[in-house]
Amino acid sequence: MTAGTPTVGIPGAFSGTERRADFPVFERTTSTGRRLVYLDAAASSPKPRVVIDAMADAYAYHYANVHRGIYELSEDATQRFEAARRKVAAFLNAPSEREIVFVRNATEAVNLVAYSWGRANLGPGDVVVTTQIEHHANIVPWQQVTRETGAELRYVALTDDGRLDLDDLDRHLAARPKLVAVAAVSNALGTINPVADIAARAHAAGALVLVDAAQAAPHMTVDVQAYGADFTVISGHKMLGPSGIGALWARRELLEAMPPFLTGGNMIIRVTLEGAEWNEVPQKFEAGTPAIVEAIGLGAAIDYLTEIGMANVREHERYLFTHAWAALGEIPTVRRLGPDDPAIHAGVISFVLDAVHPHDMATILDHHGVAVRAGHHCAQPVMARYDVPATTRASFYVYNDLDDVAALADAVREAVTLFSG
Amino acid sequence: MDNLYRDFILEHYRNPHNHGVLDPHDLHAADSNPTCGDELSMTLRVDDGRQHITDVAFEGRGCAISQASASILTDTLVGLSLNEVRAISPQSVLDELGVPIGPARLKCALLGYKVLQGAVSGATVAWPAEAEASFG
């Protein structure tokens, strides 16, 4: 990894310290009596009170099944569920809310595209391109569907400093792939990938583009039209919303041409013993009773983020990143992974030390009240690329501040001392 | 932390006992902890007549808990019969470590045990129930 001292960003766009008051989880202390320093947003984010309250209110006073009942309560629930869909569409700058399919999470959304679009469109000789930086969720579904259809899966390589090798992308595009699947932000390294550039190159080669925005949507503006993407997937639980809800955005003509993924209730117009007619999009892809209250909770999370402003969220995290990157860089033997340019590095820092295994590091940090992820981050090809079995990963969000950065650096320093003793 | 990373754990981690590979050997197994990528292999020599362990060595890479636990475990093996090795309980391995192991670290602490049981049974064995509180 290249070393370097990034310039420190403009002081925070807002106070993370004050934002902590919005999150009930920060009222608790750890069993060692410490303040909770939560640095694992990249795995899943805490929930602000407004999201919890919106879900409690929906369950208490507005709950019935949606798209079914000819009665006021069901119409109320349906209206709130569909309002959440409009919020997701607006948040992603989707041309229409009919292009938003609710799913459980980004993983399910990728699977939906792989199995629905993939089975209908891939065959022997076809090529799908993904990258070595991906979360397993954007690798394994493509491995499965290419194996099943006889298509070939190729991977764009990574540079030594954790960026996608765009020359390698161009080499793979020469094979005229049918689809390019790429993460907007790497969960394991924090790299912000040049999605719009990649999409333009892919389209020029005749490929569709799927963007895994699970790590981008919580932390920066995601604009599917600016991306020039064909599919974009997000997870609610990483962006202050509940678990069990995510979304697929896809261009409407693609959704209309794709066969259903899961079948059953809600997704049909008419069923006879001989067969069925599919409902319109997006209901065609929403079989069974959906995660109604979770969708409403996601809508509340989007309201909360929109009120802060995604540009401000990004600026806040860039500010924390530059401080944390510098602070970790000052600790002897710490090796930071990923690009050192804050313009292309999200609020995620993966690091390793020869003397302290990431699991030991995470345990020691935990005793200081600092919650981080240690492991392969569901990105084993990234670990293999940089020849590490695992990394320790700290990830920032709206409720973090410079005290959290200092707590991280102090605890890492203590671990180094303990293991070198 | 002061409880978990006691000096003797760190000492075993930095200077593991019975470290290396026995060549030749009678029994061998290797395994890994999928949650963190810890790897461990073990070779053993067995007395032909009495079926007792006469020598053991392990090597691996991973966290302090997995490597120290294996080091401590291998210290107890010479002289045991294969049946006695099979009768070692996962809980006794955790007790031998003598430090509190949280649910997220149980597989680290029991990786050496799992490899050992694999070596004496001649096949990879499943994680013991004691490790299943861990996050797989």
Q: Give dist(CA A314, CA A304) in Å, integer.
A: 15
Q: Which residue of B has its CA nearest to A387?
A: B37
Amino acid at A297: G
Is B105 in CB contact (< 8 Å) with chain A? yes
What is the interface size between A and B, counted as CB pairs within 8 Å?
50
**A103 domain-assigned:** yes
Terminal C-alpha separation, chain A:
27
- Chosen for mutation from A359, A370, A417 (greatest number of chain B CBs closer than 10 Å) is A359
Distance from CA of residue B39 to its chain's centroid?
A: 11
pTM, two decimal places: 0.92
Least Cα distance to B68 among B121, B27, B105, B123 occurs for B105
Is B37 in CB contact (< 8 Å) with chain A? yes
Fold of B7-131: Sufe protein. Chain: A (3.90.1010)
CATH number reported for the structural domain that contains residue A408 in this entry:
3.90.1150.10
Rounded mean pLDDT, A356-374: 94
Rounded mean pLDDT, A271-283: 92
Contact between chains at B38 and A389 (C-beta distance less than 8 A): yes
Q: Which residue of A has its CA nearest to B12?
A: A419
Q: Which of A248, A276, A306 is the last residue of a domain?
A: A306
**A3 domain-assigned:** no
Q: Are B130 and B90 in contact (CB under 8 A)?
A: yes
Q: Give dist(CA A378, CA A40) in Å, integer.
A: 14
Contact between chains at B36 and A389 (C-beta distance less than 8 A): yes
Q: Kindly state whether residues A301 and A368 are assigned to the same domain.
A: no
Q: Are A362 and A121 in contact (CB under 8 A)?
A: no
Q: Kindly state whether residues A193 and A269 are assigned to the same domain.
A: yes
Is the alpha carbon torsion for A421, B3, B7, B8 positive or negative? negative
With the CA atoms of B50, B51, B55 and B56 taken in that order, what torsion angle do they form, in degrees rounded to the nearest 10? -160
Instruction: Measure Cα distances from A318 to A3, A40, A392, A402, A411 in Å.
Output: 18, 16, 19, 12, 22
Q: Give dist(CA A419, CA B64) in Å, integer.
A: 9
Q: Which of A255, A272, A306 is the last residue of a domain?
A: A306
Distance from CA of residue A169 to its chain's centroid?
A: 22
**A400 domain-assigned:** yes
Contact between chains at A357 and B5 (C-beta distance less than 8 A): no
pLDDT at B3: 67
Please report residues of B whose CB lies closer than 8 A to that of A376. 36-37
By Cβ distance, the residue of B4, B10, B38 closest to A363 is: B4
pLDDT class of B133 with cuts at 50, 70, 90:
low
**What does the block give as tokens for A290?**
């959906």
Which domain range does residue A390 map to?
A: 16-35+309-420
Contact between chains at A390 and B36 (C-beta distance less than 8 A): yes
Percentage, residues of chain A above pLDDT 90: 91
pLDDT at B136: 40
**Is the reported ipTM for this assembly greater than 0.90?**
no
**B16-68 pLDDT per residue, tens:** 999 999 999 999 999 998 777 789 999 999 998 878 999 999 999 899 999 99
Q: Which residue of A has its CA nearest to B65?
A: A360
Q: Is the pLDDT of residue A299 over 70?
A: yes
- Chosen for mutation from B7, B31, B36 (greatest number of chain A CBs closer than 10 Å) is B36
Q: Is the pLDDT of residue A402 over 60?
A: yes
**A2 domain-assigned:** no
